Amino acid sequence: MEETNKKQLVVLMVAVVVALLIGVGVGGTFHSFNKIQVAKEQVAGNLYSKVISSITAYGKVASVNGNSITLNNLGDTLAISIASDARVFSFSNPAEGSKSAVPVQKISLISDIKTGQNVNVALKLMPNGQMQGISIVILPSVVK
């Protein structure tokens, strides 16, 4: 009888220790997530500052749909809403036979952006926390 009580006591103690370990793990995870959320809010607040005029996104155009553009880069995808007054610039390679190796810049339209092109998009963090494209640079294709 006493042997059975000892076994039950050991099982109970092990269960209590396991429960405590799980509780500490869950509590620590919650605390970590809370710290990450606070850090995200602080970063977002700093990025909304008038001192920071823009952030740049770079990638290959996956799609263009009206005033929305989707970029891919190194496995990440980002859909960006483009402001109606956003400026679009493009660069083209110098004309064949030109003595200049400097790409030629011109003003373009969002409709000039094609799938597969590499672009830089200047982003502004809006008061609602969303990012909006405020200018786009269509990068020249690589000269072979």
Q: What residues does 60 pair with on adjacent strands?
A: 72, 118
Same domain, yes or no: 5 and 32: yes
Host domain of residue 124: 55-138
Same domain, yes or no: 19 and 86: no
Q: What are the 10-residue block averages of pLDDT along the chain, 144 residues in total? A: 72 74 65 61 62 84 95 95 95 76 85 94 84 92 57
Same domain, yes or no: 108 and 131: yes
Same domain, yes or no: 41 and 60: no
pLDDT of residue 1: 54
Q: Judge contact between 44 and 125, C-beta under 8 A.
A: yes
Please give the Cα distance from 114 to 127 (Å, whole number).
Answer: 30
Same domain, yes or no: 90 and 132: yes
Q: Give the CATH number of the domain where residue 130 resides.
A: 2.40.50
Going by C-alpha positions, the residue among 138, 143, 144 that lies closest to residue 61 is 138
Q: How many domains does the chain have?
A: 2
- Whole-prediction pTM value? 0.63
